[in-house]
Amino acid sequence: MRRLRARLRARISGRGFTLIEMVVSLAAGLLISTAAFMMARNASRFFQSEAGITSAQFQATLGMTRLQADLRRVAFMTSPNATTDPKLCGGTAGWTPGMAQLAGIRIEDGGSVARHGADHALSGTNSLSPDALIIAGIFSTTEQFTVKALENAAGVTIYLANDGAMWRTRQRASQGGPALDEIFRAGRYLRVVDQEGRFAYGLITGTNLLGTNVEVNLAASPALPTRAATGSCGCEGFCTGAIANPVSRVLYDLRTLDLATYPQYAGLYATVQGVNPTYVKAAATPARTELVRVELDENDAEIPASLEVLAEFAVDLK
């Protein structure tokens, strides 16, 4: 009898968990694991947000640096206001809308909102009205080129001399700098300074690079004035010895990018506006605006291929 009781006690003392105890322990373990995963997820989101803020601040610094660099060239090798400049040769007849607004700097008060009102709901909520800025100057090079000859046909062809400026430009292009056809891009303006320091503007329609010869083609209208036509200013003969340089107009403003026009920026809006690329896994972001830089053509319209995003999550431009 004593042996039987001893065996029963041994069995009782060596038994495992009951089913209820096992379920309770599993539930407790699951709760602890869930809490740990939630803490890890929240920590990851926090660090991602901090990284995003740091990146946005850094991009804002770079964007303002780019803007400052452009502002230093405002009206460089061009005119503070082309239509009223006393050194302008000839009139403004035939000037395109963009050329008629050629000025060193134009500030549009509330221009970003006026241009992209639907993108600035949060700006109104926060009593902000970002401006837009249009500047003109020579931003693609620091060189001015000597004219070798001018030919009048259906349009105007300017032949540039192979001087030091041309050699330096070719050297920079071979090292990753802008090429000549990028510098004299169609839609920009060509400023031609005659032998007496008076200048005129033509509209660039294209560039031909024939060996070492560089031809810059201009539209027939507006016509470059000649001394024979004006009697007081303009190129004489073949315009040999005149100085030429490209001029462009650039717009800075704040907007939400139109992905139909700029699909290359779809990754910035991973889960916004119905765009959710499978290769991007990001949390949804609220309505946002970017600081962009885009070149304007002769009709004052944007050139889509020239648009650059300088800073993400920009909220004001004053």
Residue with tokens 């007081």: 232
Residue-wise pLDDT for 253-304, tens only, equals 999 988 888 888 877 776 544 545 554 444 555 678 999 999 999 999 999 9
Q: Any idea which of 26-30, 90-94, 104-108, 190-194 has the lowest mean pLDDT?
A: 26-30
Give the model's confidence band at 17: pLDDT under 50 very low, under 70 low, under 90 confident, else very high. low
Range of 159-168, 219-228, 253-262 with top mean pLDDT: 159-168
pLDDT at 109 exceeding the cut of 60: yes
Question: What is the enclosing helix (H) or strand (E) of 161?
Answer: none
CA distances (Å), origin 302, targets 47, 98, 130, 136 = 38, 11, 19, 14
30 part of a folded domain: no
Residue 74 DSSP one-character state: B
Mean pLDDT in the chain?
85
305 part of a folded domain: yes
Backbone angles phi, psi at 249, to 5 degrees: -115, 135
136 part of a folded domain: yes
Q: Which pLDDT belongs to residue 185? A: 93
Give the model's confidence band at 188: pLDDT under 50 very low, under 70 low, under 90 confident, else very high. very high
Q: Which pLDDT belongs to residue 275? A: 47
Q: Which pLDDT belongs to residue 51? A: 73
Instruction: Show the 3-state SS of 125-150.
Output: HCCCCCCEEEEEECCCCCCCEEEEEE
Q: Which pLDDT belongs to residue 276? A: 52
Give the model's confidence band at 30: pLDDT under 50 very low, under 70 low, under 90 confident, else very high. confident
Q: Which pLDDT belongs to residue 258? A: 86
Give the model's confidence band at 198: pLDDT under 50 very low, under 70 low, under 90 confident, else very high. very high
Rounded to the nearest 5 degrees, what angle is found at the Cα of 316, between the Cα atoms of 295 and 113? 65
Which 3 state secondary structure label does DSSP give 282? coil
Gap between the Cα atoms of 46 and 33, Å rounded: 20
Residue 117 DSSP one-character state: G
- What is the percent of the chain where pLDDT is above 90? 48
For the segment 16-35, the average pLDDT, to the nearest whole number, is 77
* Number of domains observed in the structure of the chain: 1
Looking at per-residue pLDDT, the higher value among 57 and 183 belongs to 183
Q: Which pLDDT belongs to residue 11? A: 57
Query: 200: burial class by Cβ within 10 Å (0-12, 13-18, 19+)?
Result: buried
Give the model's confidence band at 14: pLDDT under 50 very low, under 70 low, under 90 confident, else very high. low
Gap between the Cα atoms of 151 and 202, Å rounded: 13
For the segment 160-175, the average pLDDT, to the nearest whole number, is 93
Gap between the Cα atoms of 7 and 1, Å rounded: 10
Nearest to 214 by CA among 161, 259, 169, 164: 161
List the structure tokens of 244: 């030429």
Strand ranges for the chain from DSSP E: 105-108, 132-137, 145-152, 156-160, 189-193, 199-210, 213-218, 243-255, 290-296, 308-311
135 part of a folded domain: yes
The range of the structural domain enclosing residue 286 comes to 73-311
CA distances (Å), origin 199, targets 68, 87, 153, 304 = 27, 6, 21, 30
Looking at per-residue pLDDT, the higher value among 91 and 135 belongs to 135
For the segment 51-79, the average pLDDT, to the nearest whole number, is 85
Whether the CB-CB separation of 51 and 74 falls below 8 Å is answered with no
16 part of a folded domain: no
| Non-local CB neighbours of 257 within 8 Å, separated by 6+ positions | 265, 268, 269, 290, 292, 309
Sign of the C-alpha dihedral, residues 302, 304, 308, 314?
positive
22 part of a folded domain: no
Gap between the Cα atoms of 229 and 39, Å rounded: 80
pLDDT at 233 exceeding the cut of 80: yes
pTM tops 0.85, yes or no: no
Q: Which pLDDT belongs to residue 272? A: 46
Residue-wise pLDDT for 236-255, tens only, equals 888 899 999 999 999 999 99
Q: Which pLDDT belongs to residue 180? A: 92
Give the model's confidence band at 196: pLDDT under 50 very low, under 70 low, under 90 confident, else very high. confident
24 part of a folded domain: no
